[in-house]
Amino acid sequence: MSSIDSAALAAAVAALPERFRGPGGAVGVVKDGEVIIREAWGYADPDAGLPMTASRLLPICSISKQMTCGVLLDLLGDPSALDDQLAEFLPNLEGRRPTIRELCDNRSGLRDYWALTALHGAHHEGVFRRADARPLFARMKTSHFEPGSQYSYSNGNFRILSDLLEDKSGRSLAELYARHIFGPAGMRDARLATDTAAPLNGVIGHEGNAAIGWLPATNRIVWSGDAGVAATLDDMLAWERFIDRTRNDADGLYRRLSTPSTFADGRPARYGMGLAHDKIDDVALTGHGGALRGFRIRRLHAAGERLSVVVMFNHEADAHAAALHLMRAALGRPSAPRGDTPADPAWTGVYLEPSSGLVLNVTTHGNAVLAGLGGGTEVLSFGAEGVARSTGMTLCREGDDLRLDRPGDNLRGLAVRLAGSAAPDIAGRYWSPETESVLEIEAVGSAFAGRFDGFLGRGPMHPMLPVAADVWKLATPRGMDAPAPGDWSVRIRRNRQGMIEGLTVGCWLARNVAFTRLA
């Protein structure tokens, strides 16, 4: 444990409003169990002139997941106590059902239900009721990998867990949080706020940016144990102080939550019990982010340093980057400079990772390799040995293809370079037995678009753009949840005569969903 760089931390905090622009924000830092930074700036609601303060409630979104897992451990101790009840939620799932622990570790293999809402025909500004969740889970027939073998973020894991906890205890989730989390931690104003349509004591979330301005975000989702908690900055600082106060207790709740775990093959995992595990240089971190349309939240905890950082925005700036910025400043560890080896421009291209079925887009810029696999773009540093690395991904050239390793996901494979032009014969209707929904693809002049029709409605048209021979992307830049699914990879399947017999759709959170051509 070491002292912090107070001057660097103060300068980093002062720079936040300009560096991460938006209507308002709040930030707190805890060191050795004491609050040393507690600041807010800007507006909770600019239209009303309502200032942001440390006592304003904001949805903490997916940070709720660790608290749901905390209820599980405090209430039952052993997650396997609920394993037998999982069949009620997944009555049609083929193969081995995941365990409750695999749900808590995001290693269940279940496709994320918020991504799947797009395939079920939801509109991005539609209503998702609590009653809509179970029918969606009941339709699941396959997992997109063998449970335990890989990591894939799935909000539904924690939605199911919270329902099981209510059924087992006979208490509401709100009561369970209050008894097992909020009360012991001294989170006086924290609560379960499931309906995101209603502002919390005046705080409005905002989409947009400095270039186009900020617009009030529309949310009509009813959440649960996946992202339903609302808390103030003061509540979050109380959570961090509780973590520090119980750090030496062998049965301490956060200590049990943050115990490292492994994949089924023994490879170390970077996620478990609702917590992400990361490092700044040699300093181990645990924490989590939260994202709802209009809000971004991040907390980081360095146990060895007894140091915690919390960042809360009522807009969509990068709260993770802000939290890392503060943590590095406090630790006196500025970002390491990138190497000066120029990246090989021959890497630029589009590739297909076969096991996930996702398109890998690669470009180069100076000494950096920019790689996007179904989600956001990662920046990798190109080394003298011809290998590109980031904390989340390693790429190296193998012939005309790229060998890929994502240790956090336990995904390794050869991404094959794509070539050729997509044929314009994809218009038609396609049926998925997995989602029990239809994909309608239409030609609109020389352009194409697709929409999904399912039990949640008949969704909007999404543009479809050609990528390579028999590979397209379908773009959903806005979804019910945030972030949205983004670009879905669409792979065309043909019979021996060259006629289309079906296609497979997938994004990072919901891979390899098969559709058969109807007409």
Query: Please, what is the Cα angle at 439 between 436 and 443, to 5 degrees?
Result: 170
Could you confirm whether 65 is annotated as catalytic? Answer: yes
3-state DSSP helix/strand/coil % of the chain, to nearest 5: 25, 35, 40
Dihedral sign, CA of 156, 131, 188, 49? positive
In the beta sheet, which residues pair with residue 321?
A: none
Cβ–Cβ under 8 Å, residues 222 and 162: no
Could you confirm whether 279 is annotated as catalytic? Answer: no
Q: How far is residue 4's CA from residue 237's CA, in Å, rounded to a whole number? A: 18
Q: How far is residue 33's CA from residue 185's CA, in Å, rounded to a whole number? A: 13
Cβ–Cβ under 8 Å, residues 189 and 79: no
Terminal C-alpha separation, the chain: 66
Long-range own/partner contacts, residues 393-400 (CB < 8 A, 24 or more apart): 395/347, 395/362, 395/369, 395/371, 397/344, 397/347
3-state secondary structure of 152: coil
Judge residue 506's burial from the number of C-beta atoms within 10 Å of its C-beta, 0-12 exposed, 13-18 middle, 19 or more buried.
Answer: buried
Closest CA to 438 of 163, 55, 46, 120: 120
Q: Tell the residue number behind the tokens 């409630």, with chain if given.
A: 57
Number of Cβ atoms within 10 Å of the Cβ of 496: 6
Number of Cβ atoms within 10 Å of the Cβ of 117: 27
Query: What secondary structure, in 3-state letters, does 364-415 show?
Result: EECCEEEEEECCCEEEEEECCCCEEECCCCEEEEECCEEEEEECCCCEEEEE
Omega cis (within 30) before 483? yes
In the beta sheet, which residues pair with residue 268?
A: 262
Single-letter residue type at 39: E
Task: Name the catalytic one among 31, 65, 224, 489.
Answer: 65
Task: Name the catalytic one among 2, 6, 55, 62.
Answer: 62
Half-sphere exposure of 305 (CA within 13 A, CB side): 25
Q: How far is residue 217's CA from residue 302's CA, in Å, rounded to a whole number? A: 33
Decide the pairing of beta strands 486-494 and 500-507. Answer: antiparallel
Cβ–Cβ under 8 Å, residues 410 and 359: no
Cβ–Cβ under 8 Å, residues 361 and 371: yes
Number of Cβ atoms within 10 Å of the Cβ of 475: 16
Cβ–Cβ under 8 Å, residues 508 and 375: yes
Cβ–Cβ under 8 Å, residues 330 and 29: yes
Catalytic residues: 62, 65
